[in-house]
Copies of this chain bind each other. A is one copy, B any other.
């Protein structure tokens, strides 16, 4: 980014330095047309006043983080990862909360301007997505954005951190297949979440690899990653004429819901029903039986996102716009060989 000063803006706008100064400070005595022209130029060039520049150089490095829209357990893990990494490298994290829906309605231009004014270095979003217009607003001001587990598909113009969802889904199903299961159901999370689609397709790939038909009635669309999806899904699946002997839930929260239903129905897990979750949250260790789960390295993902945003802010190029950390199948007590 070139060093833009008032003089540069002024000459580009064809006005005097005084006029630019007035626009910046919102003083009266500037024609609307002139004001708009200068404003646009100010935004395009990403003008930073010497004070702001100085504040940024002197003050602590500050990164914005937007959470919201995911389970408390998931969010806390990512947050802890980011905070612990931030602490060691002396970065301050400004946290705010917004659902993906809220986010789309935010005026990114005003947001980015504000971040710039406050000397923020970059932005990390959790399980969310920005519109192209919003991303442009940040890019224009040289504010890097990194998304952890973006809802939409990974694109090259958006830095993102995720995990190997497809491989994780495949590992989960393969584990169940290796135990002898043939009737394996899938309970999905948010339909608009790319990670959910990848998990499902990993699951299907494993079935296909083992020569098992993917029955449509064994794929339940939960709509959310919450426990309620597990309750609804398990209820529906276990009432099928030929119920599954194993369920792969696309989140640990969903798996918790499944566990509740199984118990309410008097089913023993894993004897009557095997269950695999996804996320590897701390709560997976604490259920009875402890939950077999595909663990995402959520803390590492938080750390990686912070590192990426700082590297981008320093003008470095990322090796790849998309970072995928490895998932790991953690086998606990909720999976076993099918009874029949």
Chain A interface residues toward B at CB < 8 A = 49-52, 54-55, 58-60, 62, 65, 72-73, 75-77, 79-80, 83-84, 86-87, 92-97, 114, 117-119, 227-228, 256-257, 260-261, 263-264, 282, 286-288
Contacts of A282 in B (CB 8 A): 72
The contact of A288 among B55, B62, B95, B263, by CB within 8 Å, is B263
Q: Assess A58 versus B52: contact at CB under 8 Å? Given A72-B76, A80-B97, A96-B93.
A: yes
Cα distance A51–B75 in the bound complex, in angstroms: 36
Cα distance A264–B60 in the bound complex, in angstroms: 51
Q: Assess A96 versus B73: contact at CB under 8 Å? Given A260-B287, A260-B288.
A: no
The contact of A59 among B55, B72, B228, B261, by CB within 8 Å, is B55
Q: Is the CB of A79 within 8 A of B55?
A: no
Residue of B nearest to A65 (CB): B95
Cα distance A49–B87 in the bound complex, in angstroms: 26
Nearest 10 interchain pairs by C-beta = A72-B76, A51-B51, A55-B55, A260-B288, A83-B97, A51-B54, A95-B95, A72-B72, A227-B286, A72-B73
Residue of B nearest to A227 (CB): B286
Cα distance A49–B118 in the bound complex, in angstroms: 17
Cα distance A118–B40 in the bound complex, in angstroms: 30
The contact of A97 among B50, B62, B87, by CB within 8 Å, is B87
Least CB distance from A321 to B in Å reads: 27
Q: Assess A92 versus B94: contact at CB under 8 Å? Given A60-B118, A72-B282, A288-B264.
A: yes
The contact of A94 among B62, B76, B256, by CB within 8 Å, is B62
Least CB distance from A166 to B in Å reads: 27
Least CB distance from A133 to B in Å reads: 22
Q: Is the CB of B97 within 8 A of A94?
A: no
Cα distance A96–B294 in the bound complex, in angstroms: 28
The contact of A76 among B49, B75, B114, by CB within 8 Å, is B75
Q: Assess A94 versus B96: contact at CB under 8 Å? Given A58-B52, A118-B59.
A: no
Cα distance A80–B96 in the bound complex, in angstroms: 9
Contacts A76-B76, A92-B96 given; 7 further ones with Cβ under 8 A?
A: A55-B55, A59-B119, A72-B75, A72-B76, A75-B76, A84-B97, A86-B96
The contact of A114 among B54, B60, B227, by CB within 8 Å, is B60
Least CB distance from A335 to B in Å reads: 18
Cα distance A79–B52 in the bound complex, in angstroms: 29
Cα distance A59–B56 in the bound complex, in angstroms: 11
Contacts of A95 in B (CB 8 A): 65, 79, 83, 93-95
